[in-house]
Structure 1
Amino acid sequence: MSDVTDPQFDRALGALVGGALGDALGMPTQLLSPSEIRHAYGHVTGFVAPGEDHPVSKGLPAGMITDDTEQTLLLAEQLLASPERFDHRAWVDRLLAWEADVKARGSYDLLGPSTKRAIDLIRAGTPAEEAGREGTTNGAAMRIAPIGIMTRVDPLDRLVSKVAETCAATHATSVAIASASAVAAAISAAIDGAGWNDAAERGIEAARAARHVGAWAAAPDIASRIVWARELAANVNEQDAIAAVVDLVGTSVASQESVPAAFAVVAIAGGNPWRAAVIAANLGGDTDTIGAIAGAMAGAACGRSRLPVAKIAELKGFDLSQAASLAKGLLALRNGTPALKGAA
């Protein structure tokens, strides 16, 4: 499926597939504590089915993706449908249709708190492009990979502007936009050939550039948090680095915890996407989202051709051909190839 003769495509598809791997591996462990994960599954090193009493994942098969991957692909579709100017109303309609479909499938993994709050505001009459002014959680960062694929990392202000545009309806706060900008910039830099460490540095630059974009939120500076989280993971053994992420950085849905945690996880894994997914799955907290973000960044840096083929084959609910088509369409927008615009 991956065309190794086209490095950009290989890395773009690596971002989407790497995100799906991290998402699916963390699916059964999300919301659990590290001790609960050990008690239920031991040390997670492969796809497992969630317990029957899991609060959101019960009933899903091993290897099933969640809202993280599904919303990422939804955003890619929306970007291809309105490439010149982001259609906020159409985006909200897509999210609502997606949630209705998820409910029909019997899943409990629905829209996150920031997105749900924004949609309630929209239903009450708030314009879609203004509804996200209280959204501070990681929903924007978890699904932002398509912007990183579509938009070059330089100039940074253009990339940040594109990120902010997609955040307006649900996550229009400075902390959420800076977090999503960091992830998008890291992926974008990797698309053009940066290694995982250099890509992370570009992510930090983007977070700095976005620190005052959007509605102010009482949250720490994301760029500083990412730098700190990466420093905690440096020059210590893996066990101590993971403990630092859990005990100091945090693994909740808060952007200022889960996004720096994802950057630290990639560093601990040495840029290996599958290893990053395994580390994330055992952290506790928002494991699927941390795994999805870390997997997307590391996957973009290494490319689809270097991801574990056997693990990709075990994914459930993920259409590799669809992901490849979306990746090609997004790259066409990045590179200004009119003939491929809207491809998906």
Structure 2
Amino acid sequence: MVYTDHIPRPETLFRILESMQFSSSQIRKICGMHYGDYLPIHSAAASDTPALPSSPKEFPGPQDPPPDEAGGATPLEEPGEIVSRLRAALPRIPVPGNEDFWEMAQSMARIAEQKVRRAAARHAEQPFLFAGEPEAIYQFLVRRNRIPAFLSRGENLSLSFVDGIDYRDRFLGAMLGSAVGEMLGTVTQGLTSRDVQELYGELSDLPAIQPARGAGAAASASPLLAVSLSLLPDGVLDPGKTAEALALAVRRDDSPGLLGFARNLLERRLPWHEAGEIQPEGAPAVFVLPLVLLRAGNFRRLKLEAGILASLSHPHPAAIAAAIAQACAVARTLHSVPGSLDMLSFPRALSPVIAGIEPERGSKPRTGRAAPTVGRKLGAELPALLLRRAPVNEMQEELGNGAAAHEGIPFALGCFLRSPGDFAGAVLPAVGQGGDARSIAAMAGALSGAYVGASGIPERFLLRLPCREGFSDAAERLLALSRREG
């Protein structure tokens, strides 16, 4: 790899840098000034050297080693072996004539030293995080400016188990309802309502709708199921464990924020508290459901951990507010006696819970209206639409049904409150309007399933649900833990 009295070839240096886990941007910064920003070398001394790659993605990787001088394949070596050979060969490389190489080596050493110092600082800060104390994790994230100090803001809700409610049926209904909504929403994800009508009609005959190709495989890697399993068997939110499970379950067609989070954690190897993308998306409001089932009888713990969970992938105030609002909405629904829901007071009660999380001041659109927030839509706009019994297409136009946090949860809640006792009547409108149908239908399905129970979900929905047993088992185990805590 490194030979006596001369520096290694550029391809070898790239492999050395990659083996030491330098990022693409760091490789470009270090090597750019020495090799003409990856331009081919035209000097006589390098006439036999292959042209350098034009981008970091074209670097010779472990599966595509560069050819050696004889035209054969260079054998793959372990990173430790590469570093060992480099260390042994460095003293034999003369400084005269190799100034660029030695300058590069010094740059590598400085960056490596910085990486070691940062890793040591992280290690020193984190021992208390994994003791299972959410308060300590929350304070840590607040100090790191990853989440707003939301715990002391807003009003409280009373959550307690009610005699006479079949909670096993409710827990199963919430989990299966969310999974069914996600499955059906995949079919119309990204479409407009007009596209959906042309393709599927009014969605009154659900068996005519077939899950999209690959929906079964997607369900087996569902973020909902991944978060559920990360909380089991002890019922403790370990942010590192949950972040990794969530990142591994991210799909290629998920939102940009989720994709960026997975890339940061798995590819760039950022720590869990730095991997999240600051995007105001509503995705965390979907996979917060397992935490709702686990903390169904403890409002403070639910609000605290829902905010922490949302911040793993989306440390944005709007995303955190949406996740807490959805968590509280599902929890209230779980404990609501059939026929007791008031469609006007229900969303209004959620708005004070998330008060102060989202910034009140912000840029105003040209219409002169205040910037949209989750709290404002839940407290004012949604009740006004429900009061005049606005049709679903009008609700979609007023509230929106995109991936933004201030659109997803209000529209999902509106779909549910229009028909709280009818699962199909709650989920199909969310599916039929397209947009971010997968997330919105999953949220509406969780709310409706938590209210009507698994027994209230039509069997025709459940027959085609992949991993049905996995979702049911997770709900059963979360119920046992929740009962023990409550």
Aligned partner of 1:79 in structure 2 is 231
- Alignment of 1:190 onto 2:333: yes
Change (3 A) 1:34 1:217: farther
Amino acid at match of 1:323: F
Over aligned residues, Cα RMSD in angstroms? Answer: 3.0
Contact 1:27–1:65 (8 Å) recurs in 2: no
The separation in 1 between residues aligned to 2:462 and 2:388, in whole angstroms, is: 32
- Alignment of 1:93 onto 2:241: no
- Alignment of 1:292 onto 2:442: yes
- Alignment of 1:231 onto 2:384: yes
Q: Which has the higher contact order (CA 8 A, sep 6+)?
A: 1
Aligned partner of 2:293 in structure 1 is 149
Amino acid at match of 1:142: V
Amino acid at match of 2:210: A
Aligned partner of 1:259 in structure 2 is 409
Q: Could you tell me which runs of 5 or more consecutive residues in structure 2 were left unpaired when the two chains were aligned.
A: 1-163, 363-370
Change (3 A) 1:199 1:302: farther
Aligned partner of 2:94 in structure 1 is none
What number of residue pairs does the alignment pair up?
A: 310
CA deviations on 1:211-262 (whole Å, 9 max, x unpaired) are: 44489996633122123224213333xxx42122221111101110111000
Amino acid at match of 2:382: A
Cα deviation, residue 80, structure 1? 1.5
Give the one of 177, 181, 195 matched to 1:18.
177
Change (3 A) 1:264 1:312: same
Cα deviation, residue 60, structure 1? 4.0
CA deviations on 1:290-324 (whole Å, 9 max, x unpaired) are: 11101110110111112212321132x232x3222
Cα deviation, residue 138, structure 1? 1.3
Aligned partner of 1:323 in structure 2 is 471
Change (3 A) 1:68 1:260: farther
The separation in 2 between residues aligned to 1:82 and 1:135, in whole angstroms, is: 31
Contact 1:137–1:254 (8 Å) recurs in 2: yes
TM-score under structure 2 normalisation?
Answer: 0.57
Change (3 A) 1:66 1:256: farther
Cα deviation, residue 71, structure 1? 1.1
Change (3 A) 1:199 1:173: farther
Cα deviation, residue 93, structure 1? 2.1
Change (3 A) 1:302 1:216: same
After the TM superposition, which residues 1-344 of structure 1 pair with which residues of structure 2 at under 5 Å, given as runs?
7-45=166-204, 46-47=206-207, 48-49=209-210, 57=212, 59-60=213-214, 66=218, 70-81=222-233, 83-84=235-236, 86-99=237-250, 108-109=252-253, 111-122=254-265, 123-124=267-268, 126-132=270-276, 134-152=278-296, 154-155=298-299, 157-195=300-338, 197=341, 205-213=349-357, 220-227=372-379, 228-236=381-389, 240-315=390-465, 317-319=466-468, 321-336=469-484
Q: Could you tell me which runs of 5 or more consecutive residues in structure 1 were left unpaired when the two chains were aligned.
A: 51-56, 103-107, 339-344
Amino acid at match of 2:248: A
Runs of 4 or more, structure 1, over 6 Å off, are 214-217
The separation in 2 between residues aligned to 1:190 and 1:69, in whole angstroms, is: 27
Which 10-residue stretch deviates more, 269-278 or 292-301? 269-278
Amino acid at match of 2:481: L
Change (3 A) 1:200 1:303: farther
Which 10-residue stretch deviates more, 111-120 or 273-282? 111-120
Change (3 A) 1:135 1:79: farther
Which 10-residue stretch deviates more, 28-37 or 223-232? 223-232
